[in-house]
């Protein structure tokens, strides 16, 4: 099947993937009472540990990311595309194999997640956002079901605000994002040495998260 083109920052980042049906998930109805606990996702790499929380008001992305993180889907995948002063990107199942040339191509029929643009969720330093196809093939701006990126630019990448779904924030390990972004890479911006990840999900009290990581819930 012919691959389409993923875009991050238009021509600056180009990825190929296969067009496929939308991620099936029910739209949320009435908002349930806010839980006193929240999930912390720990991303372990050779360069250190990154911890992120996921936003409640992007429920489709949150549910999808947590399901994959808990199932072990991301274990063994790599940060296959890194650009200093921009972002680090990973999450493609193809990056688990021994062929670096297919990293970022995605897999056939892997689905998408409907866009969830929320005012206030910006591409700040450490923001967690979803990769996607470019507007020419994806006017709805639906997200990849697996590939994500973390903003490495300390000033943010705000020209992407409102165009790619931001669904989480780094609460620990910003220095690790910086380290990964500065790793030696080839002409495709792929690190020359694999930067593999594993993920673990832990549910903690929000008060504990705030105390441990200095994160302020709005």
Asked if the structure places residue 177 within a domain, the reply is yes
Does the pLDDT at position 18 exceed 60?
Answer: no
- Give me the pLDDT at residue 109, please: 76
pLDDT tens digits for 177-186? 999 999 999 9
How many domains are there within the chain?
1
Asked if the structure places residue 10 within a domain, the reply is no
- Give me the pLDDT at residue 13, please: 41
Higher pLDDT, 2 or 118: 118
- Give me the pLDDT at residue 104, please: 60
Of the candidates 217, 203, 104, 115, which has an alpha carbon nearest to the alpha carbon of residue 166? Answer: 115
Q: Of all helices (H) and strands (E), which one includes residue 71?
A: helix 59-71
Q: What is the CATH number of the domain that holds 71?
A: 2.40.100.10
- Give me the pLDDT at residue 114, please: 97
- Give me the pLDDT at residue 81, please: 94
Asked if the structure places residue 23 within a domain, the reply is no
205 and 37 in contact (C-beta within 8 Å)?
Answer: yes
Cα distances (angstroms) measured from residue 46 to each of 30, 49, 78, 199 = 42, 8, 11, 13
Mean pLDDT calculated for residue range 46-70: 97
Question: Out of 66-70, 71-75, 136-140, which region has the weakest mean confidence (pLDDT)?
Answer: 136-140
Question: Which parts of the chain fold into alpha helices (H)?
Answer: 59-71, 174-181, 206-213
Tokens of 174: 């910003």
**Residue 88 belongs to domain spanning:** 37-213
Asked if the structure places residue 6 within a domain, the reply is no
Kindly indicate the confidence band of residue 48, based on its pLDDT and cuts at 50, 70 and 90.
very high
In whole numbers, what is the pLDDT of the chain averaged over residues?
85
pLDDT tens digits for 91-143? 998 787 776 766 666 667 778 999 999 999 999 999 999 999 889 989 999 99
Asked if the structure places residue 197 within a domain, the reply is yes
Asked if the structure places residue 199 within a domain, the reply is yes
Does the pLDDT at position 12 exceed 90?
Answer: no
pLDDT tens digits for 152-194? 999 999 999 999 999 999 999 999 999 999 999 999 999 999 9
Does the pLDDT at position 26 exceed 80?
Answer: no
Asked if the structure places residue 206 within a domain, the reply is yes
Q: First vs last Cα of the chain: how many Å apart?
A: 44
- Give me the pLDDT at residue 102, please: 65
Mean pLDDT calculated for residue range 71-100: 91
């Amino acid at each position: 099947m012919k691959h389409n083109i993923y875009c991050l920052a238009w021509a600056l980042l180009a990825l190929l993937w296969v067009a496929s049906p939308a991620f099936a998930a029910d739209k949320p109805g009435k908002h349930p009472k806010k839980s006193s606990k929240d999930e912390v996702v720990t991303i372990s790499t050779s360069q250190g540990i990154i911890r992120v929380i996921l936003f409640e008001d992007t429920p489709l992305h949150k549910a999808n990311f947590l399901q994959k993180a808990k199932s072990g889907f991301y274990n063994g995948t790599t940060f296959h595309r890194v650009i200093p002063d921009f972002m680090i990107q990973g999450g493609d199942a193809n990056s688990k194999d021994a062929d670096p040339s297919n990293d970022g191509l995605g897999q056939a029929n892997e689905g998408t997640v409907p866009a969830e643009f929320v005012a206030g969720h910006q591409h700040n330093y450490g923001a967690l956002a979803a990769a996607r196809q470019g507007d020419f093939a994806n006017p709805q701006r639906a997200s990849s079901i697996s590939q994500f990126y973390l903003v490495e630019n300390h000033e943010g990448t705000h020209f992407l605000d409102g165009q790619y779904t931001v669904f989480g924030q780094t609460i620990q390990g910003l220095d690790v994002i910086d380290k990964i972004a500065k790793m030696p890479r080839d002409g495709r911006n792929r690190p020359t040495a694999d930067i593999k990840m594993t993920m673990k999900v832990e549910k903690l009290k929000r008060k504990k998260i705030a105390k441990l990581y200095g994160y302020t819930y709005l």
